[in-house]
């Protein structure tokens, strides 16, 4: 249990072997990165004269095998029990050297790393003398800290071998399947009543031109066949407690209201008096308050839209006995999980009223709507018709809701415009142009773009195909967006699109069309509640933010919460699945061993000093990281602060407010700081280059 | 002015020849490689774009297609195989059809039936003329001027010259109207027409735009296309002047000595026409030059008629010198049957018309540039004074 860990930790900190510090100092040349500026030999020589420094070496590459061997040999042969290395950044090789120490039988935390490259040589390359002096001071401070260092152990916590995947779209499904196949239990939570998410609404998908739903069905079937996966549709996360390895998540599930399937489903839907906008068709058609999300949806069967159902009971009359229960209530339950995958997906950008004629003219639709329109199972059975007429002239306008320019485009609620590229829409538009060409060989198709970014493998083919298929391209200026307006009543085509065309040396071009398709970008699904529950943060583009875009691309700053798919940013299906698999790999590496290991740099209470003032609890920014607990000893009852290491991020705010100096952050104790400050401010020992 | 797109236009243009510029993605490589394109007239990119969007009014008002001499570098460099060079060739045909108010040019370019049929019709008309107006055939010696009295032929020449001048000149006026008069950006004052007139003469006589078109070679003799074209034109003009201006001197039953200009001028013209005609046909058959990879019917008809005219002319000459009366007369009639449609149809309504449009385009272009320069100096003058 965590408490036991803390005690063990405390013991480790309190009772170091009272041995004399024997410090090994190593100055890395970094192949000239440091050595060309800093006189590494001089630094080593100078530091070698300091008390407790047993050996001081410089070397071309400390991270190389000979470099590491030098440290290991010194530990074994010369009894070195503290190591200070001046080298590159801690982010690059801290783990390398920790393992070196471990292999040589030394506690890996008895090592201090000074960033001579980033903090000295790279920033002071014009002044080698001062750079050398600064290196000596920084490393002298490291040595001062090393004298006071105590061995530490990582915080080890038991973890549930159970992951929660939030979102049943293609990313969530992929992640769940990967996790389950690694032997982990998976709970998959999907807000809607069917699996597949946005992908189910596409007609076909690039770059293979496969039909989206059969492709999705293959993935769903695999997920359904996996015994380790428990699926909850119509369900949302209502709350969570705990930390990495040990989350207790509350899930709230809406009932379907309908049990299974039965033959007379159409008849049941027919009698329902309530008509609603069909979300699946993006409002191109209507549905009833009891409806089937789409033809081959999983799980199958009808669903009741509780928000709009009046419980008139008409459907119950027509349906077989006991199949429909209008009195079913939402219920809550909890799951214990070790990690969470956020696969909450995106929503298409919703243009503002009048933005390129949106809502102002019925002949303006969005790209997702076009997908529904061209879908054989869509509202027009796949015929390229609008308002009952075949569409002969269609303009697809790119970058609607993407790559917006401040001052040109209207900002969202948060005052920001969508200045990011949504990445998929270019190729999606081009692939739609090909599909239109198939369905309406004589149609005039215009692609009105700012830039074509068909970046992926085979994406460019769509561009080539479109231009060979007589699709006319016009390029507008970023600051001058195309204008859509109503044509004269007598005109053959209802709309006119006006573009100032880059490619025709800025000529104003007017295009008569029957239909305008806005190639809308991606916006993250609104997951404010989940962000609060799991303490994850969005980027300025409102998508969930990773720790590092390159080195840790699917992890959030919260350990145990990872991202999959378009919750993180615009991605196509291929990229979503890749991200989902990466997320699954991260989660399984974290909890597969049923335990998690955390850095020991957490707050530590000295129970002898603590008076139970509770100041620390008041200022702690983390939830449940530090609390007052009541103890009784020899008939006396008192309160003491107790740290839950898993929840502590080692910020040290508690240390600064403790009136009794009973708190310290392990590995960064106040006495260590004091020694370092002393050493930095001290006169540095004489060195040859100083004169 | 807002221009309205017309994606059907490209279909219309395809009737005039090979057009594959749908696949053009406006990269501008063609314009970058073009030795004749300038910053002010960045063709062929501009032309291609006009066609892609179907802005035919703007294309009609453009001189750019005439500024291209089809070296074919654009087609060779095009990353999309959009054949910009051939597209401009097609545009020139289309423009010829636009300048021609009779509609015949459009008919001939877009219909093989009308193109060939009209040649046959004019040929038949000439045969009929011979039946009506030919003199007696003297059979004991060659008396061409008795069979085809030179005064009558010369009279016919003048009718023919008047006919083709009228149509060609009226089309030229239309070309000026579209490309210069209708241009709202620049007004060309009369004085500029006068000062820039030398362009017309220089380009007609030298065809020096070809020079820049063959950048790799140096000098007139090495620049094969320019050289061959120049000789062909020189022979053609010489022959035309001799036949239309000096027929009594040229068509005579006297046999002059070899050093007489009538002989060697005629031989010179014949040789270059023969060589030129063969050269064009051979090159088109072999598709050896970029500009000869695609051949429209009009591209074939023209050298074929030229060659037939030349060969029949040579045969007339040979039979006369061999003193074979009947073959001379029949061959003379055949010569006229081929030559007349070539002049009557090809000069005002066909490919031949470029002899006027090409130098005129250079002239109009220079005049417009000069006028624009004058306008610029007028508008910027006050600013400079500040």
The answer to whether the CB atoms of B53 and A504 lie below 8 A apart is yes
Rounded CA-CA distance A42/A135 in Å is: 10
Question: Nearest CA to A173 among A222, A213, A209?
Answer: A222
Question: Is the pLDDT assigned to residue B240 strictly greater than 60?
Answer: yes
Residue with the two structure tokens 């950006």:
B185
Q: Which of B5, B22, B49 sits opposite A511 (nearest CB)?
A: B5
Question: Is the pLDDT assigned to residue A19 strictly greater than 90?
Answer: no
Tell me, yes or no, whether A583 lies in a domain: yes
The answer to whether the CB atoms of B53 and A498 lie below 8 A apart is no
Statement to judge: residues A269 and A401 lie in one domain: no
Contacts (Cβ under 8 Å, ≥6 apart) of A552: A546
User: So what's the pLDDT on residue B69?
Assistant: 93
Q: According to the CATH classification, is domain B9-99 in 3.40.50.1110?
A: no
- Using the Cα atoms of residue A165, residue A168, residue A172 and residue A178 in order, give the sign of their dihedral: positive
The reply to whether B14 touches chain A by the CB within 8 Å rule is no
Statement to judge: residues A513 and A530 lie in one domain: no
Instruction: With beta carbons less than 8 A apart as the criterion, state whether B33 and B77 touch.
Output: yes
How many inter-chain contacts (A to B, CB under 8 Å) are there? 54
Statement to judge: residues A304 and A401 lie in one domain: no
Q: Is the model's pTM score more than 0.90? A: no
Statement to judge: residues A280 and A357 lie in one domain: no
Q: What is the mean pLDDT of residues B272-292?
A: 92
**A472-528 pLDDT, tens per residue?**
999 999 989 999 999 999 989 999 999 999 998 899 999 999 999 999 999 999 999
Phi, psi of A18 (to 5 degrees): -75, 65
Q: Which of B3, B7, B80 sits opposite A507 (nearest CB)?
A: B3
Question: Is the pLDDT assigned to residue A374 strictly greater than 50?
Answer: yes
Statement to judge: residues A575 and A513 lie in one domain: no
Tell me, yes or no, whether A687 lies in a domain: no
Ramachandran quadrant class, A245 (left: phi over 0; alpha: psi -120 to 50; beta: rest) = left
Statement to judge: residues A640 and A557 lie in one domain: no
**A236-261 pLDDT, tens per residue?**
999 998 888 999 999 999 999 999 89
Rounded CA-CA distance A437/A516 in Å is: 16
Instruction: With beta carbons less than 8 A apart as the criterion, state whether A254 and A349 touch.
Output: no
DSSP letter at B36 equals: S
Q: Which of B7, B25, B26 sits opposite A444 (nearest CB)?
A: B7
Q: Report residue A256 CA to chain centroid gap.
A: 31
Statement to judge: residues A543 and A559 lie in one domain: yes
Q: Determine what percent of chain B is predicted with pLDDT higher than 70.
A: 98
Question: Is the pLDDT assigned to residue A44 strictly greater than 60?
Answer: yes
Question: Is the pLDDT assigned to residue A271 strictly greater than 50?
Answer: yes
Query: Which pLDDT band holds residue A649 (cuts at 50, 70, 90)?
Result: confident
**A77-102 pLDDT, tens per residue?**
999 999 999 999 988 899 899 999 99
Tell me, yes or no, whether A459 lies in a domain: yes
Q: Determine what percent of chain A is predicted with pLDDT higher than 90.
A: 84
User: So what's the pLDDT on residue A16?
Assistant: 45
**A295-352 pLDDT, tens per residue?**
889 999 999 999 999 999 999 999 999 999 999 999 999 999 999 999 999 999 999 9
User: So what's the pLDDT on residue B382?
Assistant: 58
**A414-441 pLDDT, tens per residue?**
999 999 999 999 999 999 999 999 999 9
Tell me, yes or no, whether A685 lies in a domain: no
Q: Among A462, A491, A523, which residue terminates a domain?
A: A523
Peptide bond into B364 cis (omega under 30): no
Statement to judge: residues A307 and A219 lie in one domain: no
Residues of A engaging B, defined by a Cβ cutoff of 8 Å: 444, 446, 463-464, 467-470, 472-475, 498, 501, 503-505, 507-512
User: So what's the pLDDT on residue B375?
Assistant: 87
- In this structure, of A77-91, A499-513, A592-606, B205-219, the range with the lowest mean pLDDT score is B205-219
Rounded CA-CA distance A686/A677 in Å is: 19
Query: Which pLDDT band holds residue A598 (cuts at 50, 70, 90)?
Result: confident
- In this structure, of A422-426, A598-602, B96-100, the range with the lowest mean pLDDT score is A598-602
User: So what's the pLDDT on residue B384?
Assistant: 47
Question: Nearest CA to A188 among A253, A278, A120?
Answer: A253
User: So what's the pLDDT on residue A22?
Assistant: 95
Chain B residues within an 8 Å CB radius of A464? 23, 80
Domain with CATH 1.10.1060.10 in chain B: 9-99
Statement to judge: residues A535 and A585 lie in one domain: yes
Instruction: With beta carbons less than 8 A apart as the criterion, state whether A475 and A481 touch.
Output: no
Written as six digits, the tokens of A471 are 């699709």
**A437-453 pLDDT, tens per residue?**
999 999 999 999 999 99
> From the candidates B1, B4, B6, B7, which should be mutated to test the interface with A, based on the most A CB atoms within 10 A?
B7
Question: Nearest CA to A9 among A591, A645, A576?
Answer: A645
How close B229 gets to chain A, by Cα (Å)?
34
Chain A residues within an 8 Å CB radius of B50? 504
Instruction: Look at chain A and report how many structural domains it folds into.
Output: 5
Question: Is the pLDDT assigned to residue A137 strictly greater than 60?
Answer: yes
**A544-584 pLDDT, tens per residue?**
999 888 889 999 989 899 999 999 999 999 999 999 999 99
**B342-370 pLDDT, tens per residue?**
999 988 999 989 999 999 999 999 999 99
Q: Among A149, A179, A204, which residue terminates a domain?
A: A149
**B286-341 pLDDT, tens per residue?**
998 888 999 999 999 989 999 999 999 999 999 998 999 999 999 999 999 999 99
Statement to judge: residues A143 and A177 lie in one domain: no
Tell me, yes or no, whether A690 lies in a domain: no
Q: What residue numbers bound the domain in which A240 lies? A: 162-254+331-345+525-595
Tell me, yes or no, whether A324 lies in a domain: no
Q: Which of B5, B23, B26 sits opposite A503 (nearest CB)?
A: B26
User: So what's the pLDDT on residue B245?
Assistant: 87
The reply to whether B47 touches chain A by the CB within 8 Å rule is no
**B38-84 pLDDT, tens per residue?**
888 888 999 999 999 999 999 999 999 999 999 999 999 999 889 99
Tell me, yes or no, whether A183 lies in a domain: yes
Query: Which pLDDT band holds residue B383 (cuts at 50, 70, 90)?
Result: low
Residue with the two structure tokens 């639709």:
A365
Tell me, yes or no, whether A4 lies in a domain: no
Statement to judge: residues A562 and A431 lie in one domain: no
User: So what's the pLDDT on residue A9?
Assistant: 42
With CA atoms as reference, the chain B residue closest to A444 would be B7
The answer to whether the CB atoms of A470 and B80 lie below 8 A apart is no
Query: Which pLDDT band holds residue A687 (cuts at 50, 70, 90)?
Result: low
Instruction: With beta carbons less than 8 A apart as the criterion, state whether A310 and A533 touch.
Output: no
Helix intervals (H) in A455-542: 459-468, 528-534
């Amino acid at each position: 249990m965590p408490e036991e860990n803390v005690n063990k930790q405390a013991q480790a900190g309190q009772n170091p072997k009272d041995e004399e510090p024997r410090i090994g100092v190593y100055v890395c040349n970094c192949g000239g990165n440091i050595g060309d500026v800093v006189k590494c030999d001089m630094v080593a020589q100078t530091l070698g004269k300091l008390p407790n420094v047993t050996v001081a070496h410089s070397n071309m590459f400390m991270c190389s095998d000979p470099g590491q061997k030098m440290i290991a040999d010194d530990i074994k042969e010369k009894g070195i029990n503290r190591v200070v290395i001046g080298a590159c950044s801690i982010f690059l090789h801290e783990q390398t050297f920790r393992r070196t120490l471990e292999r040589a039988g030394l506690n890996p935390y008895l090592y201090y790393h000074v960033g001579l490259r980033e903090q000295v040589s790279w920033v002071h390359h014009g002044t080698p003398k001062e750079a050398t002096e600064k290196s000596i001071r920084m490393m002298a401070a490291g040595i001062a800290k090393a004298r006071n260092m105590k061995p530490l152990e990582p915080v080890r916590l038991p973890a549930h071998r159970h992951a929660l995947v939030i979102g049943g779209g293609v990313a969530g499904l992929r992640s769940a399947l990967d996790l389950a196949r690694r032997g982990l239990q998976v709970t998959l939570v999907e807000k809607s009543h069917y699996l597949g998410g946005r992908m189910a609404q596409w007609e076909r998908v690039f770059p293979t031109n496969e039909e989206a739903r059969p492709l999705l069905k293959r993935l769903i079937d695999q997920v359904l066949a996996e015994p380790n996966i428990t699926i909850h549709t119509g369900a949302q996360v209502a709350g969570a407690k705990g930390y990495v390895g040990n989350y207790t998540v509350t899930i709230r599930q809406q009932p379907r209201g309908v049990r299974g399937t039965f033959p007379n489903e159409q008849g049941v839907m027919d009698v329902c008096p309530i008509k609603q906008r069909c979300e699946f068709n993006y409002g191109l058609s209507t549905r009833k308050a009891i409806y089937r999300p789409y033809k081959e949806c999983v799980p199958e069967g009808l669903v009741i839209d509780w928000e709009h159902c009046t419980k008139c009971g008409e459907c119950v009359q027509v349906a077989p006995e006991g199949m429909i229960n209008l009195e079913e209530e939402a219920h809550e339950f909890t799951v214990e999980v070790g990690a969470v995958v956020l696969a909450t997906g995106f929503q298409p950008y919703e243009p503002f009223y009048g933005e390129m004629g949106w809502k102002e003219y019925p002949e303006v639709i969005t790209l997702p709507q076009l997908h529904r329109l061209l879908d054989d199972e869509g509202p027009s059975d796949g015929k390229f018709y609008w308002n009952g007429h075949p569409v002969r002239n269609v303009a697809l306008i790119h970058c609607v809701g993407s790559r917006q320019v401040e001052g040109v485009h209207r900002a969202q609620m948060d005052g920001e415009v969508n200045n990011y590229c949504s990445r998929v829409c270019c190729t999606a538009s081009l692939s739609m142009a090909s599909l239109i060409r198939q369905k309406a060989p004589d149609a005039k198709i215009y692609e009105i773009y700012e830039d074509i970014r068909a970046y992926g493998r085979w994406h460019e083919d769509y561009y080539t195909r479109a231009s060979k298929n007589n699709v006319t391209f016009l390029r507008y200026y970023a600051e001058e967006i195309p204008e859509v307006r109503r044509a004269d009543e007598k005109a053959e085509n209802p709309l006119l699109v006006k573009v100032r065309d880059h490619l025709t040396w800025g000529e104003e071009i007017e295009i008569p069309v029957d239909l305008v398709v806005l190639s809308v970008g991606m916006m993250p699904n609104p997951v404010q509640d989940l962000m609060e529950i799991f303490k994850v943060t969005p980027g300025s583009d409102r998508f969930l933010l990773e720790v590092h875009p390159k080195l840790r691309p699917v992890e959030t700053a919260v350990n145990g919460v990872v991202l999959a798919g378009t919750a993180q940013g615009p991605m196509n299906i291929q990229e979503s699945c890749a991200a989902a698999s990466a997320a699954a790999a991260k989660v399984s590496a974290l909890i597969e061993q049923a335990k998690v290991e955390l850095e020991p740099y957490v707050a530590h209470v000295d129970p002898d000093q603590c008076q139970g003032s509770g100041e620390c609890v008041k200022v702690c920014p983390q939830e449940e990281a530090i609390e007052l607990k009541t103890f009784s000893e020899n008939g006396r009852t008192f309160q003491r602060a107790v740290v839950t290491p898993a929840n502590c991020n080692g910020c040290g705010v508690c240390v600064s407010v403790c009136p009794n100096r009973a708190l310290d952050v392990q590995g960064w104790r106040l006495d260590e700081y004091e020694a370092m400050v002393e050493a930095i401010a001290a006169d540095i020992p004489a060195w040859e280059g100083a004169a | 002015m807002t221009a309205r797109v017309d994606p059907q236009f490209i279909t219309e243009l395809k009737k005039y020849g090979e057009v594959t510029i749908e696949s053009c993605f406006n990269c501008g490589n063609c314009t970058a490689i073009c030795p004749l394109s300038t910053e002010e007239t960045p063709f062929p990119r501009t032309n291609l774009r006009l066609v892609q969007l179907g802005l035919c009014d703007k294309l009609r008002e453009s001189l750019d297609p005439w500024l291209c001499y089809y070296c074919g570098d654009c087609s060779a460099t095009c990353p999309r195989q959009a054949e910009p060079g051939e597209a401009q060739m097609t545009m020139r045909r289309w423009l010829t059809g636009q300048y021609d108010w009779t509609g015949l040019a459009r008919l001939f370019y877009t219909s093989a039936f009308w193109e060939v049929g009209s040649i046959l019709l004019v040929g038949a008309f000439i045969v009929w003329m011979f039946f009506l107006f030919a003199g007696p055939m003297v059979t004991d010696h060659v008396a061409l001027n008795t069979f085809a009295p030179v005064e009558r032929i010369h009279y016919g020449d003048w009718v023919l010259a008047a006919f083709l001048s009228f149509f060609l000149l009226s089309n030229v006026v239309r070309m000026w109207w579209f490309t210069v008069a209708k241009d709202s950006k620049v007004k060309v004052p009369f004085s500029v027409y006068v000062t820039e007139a030398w362009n017309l003469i220089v380009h007609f006589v030298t065809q020096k735009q070809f020079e820049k078109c063959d950048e790799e070679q140096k000098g007139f003799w090495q620049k094969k296309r320019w050289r061959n074209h120049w000789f062909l034109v020189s022979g053609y003009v010489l022959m035309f002047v001799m036949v239309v201006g000096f027929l009594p001197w040229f068509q005579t039953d006297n046999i002059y000595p070899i050093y007489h200009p009538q002989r060697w001028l005629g031989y010179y013209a014949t040789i270059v026409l023969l060589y030129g005609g063969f050269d064009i046909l051979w090159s088109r058959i072999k598709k050896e030059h970029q500009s000869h990879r695609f051949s429209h019917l009009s591209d074939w008809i023209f050298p074929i008629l030229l060659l037939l005219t030349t060969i029949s002319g040579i045969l007339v000459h040979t039979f006369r010198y061999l003193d074979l009366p009947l073959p001379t007369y029949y061959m003379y009639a055949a010569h006229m049957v081929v030559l007349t449609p070539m002049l009557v149809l090809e000069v005002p309504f066909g490919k031949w018309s470029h002899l006027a449009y090409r130098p005129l385009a250079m002239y109009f272009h220079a005049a417009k540039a000069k006028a624009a320069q004058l306008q610029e100096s007028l508008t910027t003058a006050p600013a400079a004074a500040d």
